[in-house]
Amino acid sequence: MIALINAKATSWHRRLPLAIMAIGASLEGRFPYVILDGNVDPDLQGTLHSQIIQNNIRFVGFSVMPGIQLAHSIHLSKYVRAQFPEVKIIWGGYFPTLHTETVLSSGYVDYAIRDQGDTSFVQLIECLITGGDESSIVGIAYNDGSIRYTQKQQLLDPNSLHRLPYESVSVAKYIEPTYLGSRTINYHSSVGCPFLCGFCAVAASYSARWKGLSAGTILEDILWLRDRYNINAVEFHDNNFFTAEHRTRDFSDGMAGKGISWWGEGRPDTLLSYDDATWRSMKRGGCKMIFFGAESSSQTVLDLMDKGGTQTPDTVLSLAQLMRAYGIVPEFSFVLGTPTANVDADLDRDFRYIRRIKKINPDSEIILYVYSPVHFEQADLFKAAQAHTFAYPTKLDDWLLPQWQLHDLRKNPVTPWLTPRHITRIKNFERVLNARFPTNSDLKLTAVHRKLLKALGSWRYALSLFGASYEVALALRLLRYRQPEIEGF
């Protein structure tokens, strides 16, 4: 039997573990499996221990993202290796894809899935059971004394894959209230992204490849989820939901009048090029909010990031105005603190630019990240980080050090070119911005809370006095203010 593990990745929001559910779909009818999720199970280690003994688990597969989930995956993998050395441990996801040698040199991970695991995982299980040739399996890596990489896998068409086994998890545990609706669920309708942004793990993993489910399949699935689980909102966790305009319009047309609100992620230049008819269809079809990577106010920095396409700083300003007219809320994220010649000047310009966005469309949500390098060797941005002596740990256990656990949270990463003063400047601006414009995504904020925050932040924001904002920091802490994130709400 096989255990598929979604190690704890968040302390505040639960989402369906779609990645390992997809692996489960490929195992259906072939090998028995169980899905274990640390986001809903407070004693995942104990549950896994019991499952290994009771169900004779021979293989444990982990989906591993950087950050909190990485640390928990390391601890669990080391535990399994120590307690059950005969069990094979397999990692998939962004982290083992981008840090394969570090993972396989650890001594407690046997195989890494470096591409989509929908077919390679089940082929690997078959190979390990029958004693076949693992080198013939595409998209994996293993250590037999040296690190071996098999042939890269072609991008799989999601329309050809098995439907997700929702019965393999307790779906009710993952339906939560969000800004979108009182019963929100997450869904994945495509894989990859057609762009090569230099700070993005998706670009590094998929190399500008993208394929999506048909609009009809998405609509069928969403309406089935509505009828089966009484949902009224959907977060599309695609890396680029809006890649194909015709797909977006066809889906939106089908969603009109269905009583479901939805959110997705897209590129500013892609959405700005959409026809007005598509925007009207999206509005009728329940689109309530869209996440965008605005990234920077500087064309020079955008070029360093390899944003590609036609995105410019003016693109985002025009999009903010357009979305105000349609009543769809834009979320604009910024990647601050890139390795440039003058970080302070870049921050000054970005802060002024964000203020312009809020003036054009006050409903715009602003999300600030600090650049944390992604292992993307071809990217100019990563090369610039390396030129500033940035380097990843070469031992997997070193990712458990406090500074590396914080690195991929994108708030205080290990970036040699940034000083504590730069990080403080970003945090101070963010605090005042959040007080002046409290997010609608934090559902626990009452009208009184919002009024208090605005009173504390308005005068500072108007005078651009962001430093020493201790009273704002205290209020945000007491209210346990939660800003929106790329993953949702």
Residue type, 17: P
Name the pLDDT band for 115 (thresholds 50, 70, 90).
confident
Residue type, 302: L
Q: Which CATH number fits domain 175-418: 3.40.50.300, 3.30.930.10, 3.40.50.1470, 3.20.20.70?
A: 3.20.20.70
Helices (H), 361-442: 380-387, 402-407, 420-436
**pLDDT average, residue stretch 105-109:** 97
Query: How far, rounded to the nearest angstrom, does the alpha carbon of residue 401 sit from its chain's CA centroid?
Result: 22
Residue 486 pLDDT > 50: no
Per-chain mean pLDDT for the chain: 94
Nearest partner of 149 among 73, 201, 96, judged by Cα = 96
Q: So what's the pLDDT on residue 199?
A: 87
pLDDT tens figures, 63-80: 999 989 999 999 999 999
Name the pLDDT band for 475 (thresholds 50, 70, 90).
very high
Name the pLDDT band for 204 (thresholds 50, 70, 90).
confident
- Rounded-to-integer distance, Cα 477 and Cα 488, Å: 21
Residue 487 pLDDT > 60: no
Residue 484 pLDDT > 50: yes
**pLDDT average, residue stretch 344-361:** 97
Beta strands in 431-483 (DSSP E): none
**pLDDT average, residue stretch 411-426:** 92
The superfamily (CATH) of domain 2-149 is Response regulator (3.40.50.2300)
Residue 29 pLDDT > 60: yes
CB 63 within 8 A of CB 34: no
Q: So what's the pLDDT on residue 485?
A: 63
DSSP class per residue in 278-335 = HHHHHHHTTEEEEEEEEE-S-HHHHHHTT--TT--HHHHHHHHHHHHHHT-EEEEEEE
Tell me whether strands 111-113 and 88-92 are parallel, antiparallel or unpaired: parallel
- Dihedral sign of CA atoms 39, 374, 427, 488 in order: negative
**pLDDT average, residue stretch 105-112:** 97
pLDDT tens figures, 266-320: 999 999 999 999 999 999 999 999 999 999 999 999 999 998 778 999 999 999 9
- Rounded-to-integer distance, Cα 179 and Cα 187, Å: 16
- Each domain of the chain, given as residue ranges in start order, spans 2-149, 175-418, 431-489
**pLDDT average, residue stretch 406-429:** 90
Residue type, 277: A
Percentage of the residues of the chain whose pLDDT score is greater than 90:
87
Residue 353 pLDDT > 80: yes
Residue 325 pLDDT > 70: yes
Residue 90 pLDDT > 50: yes
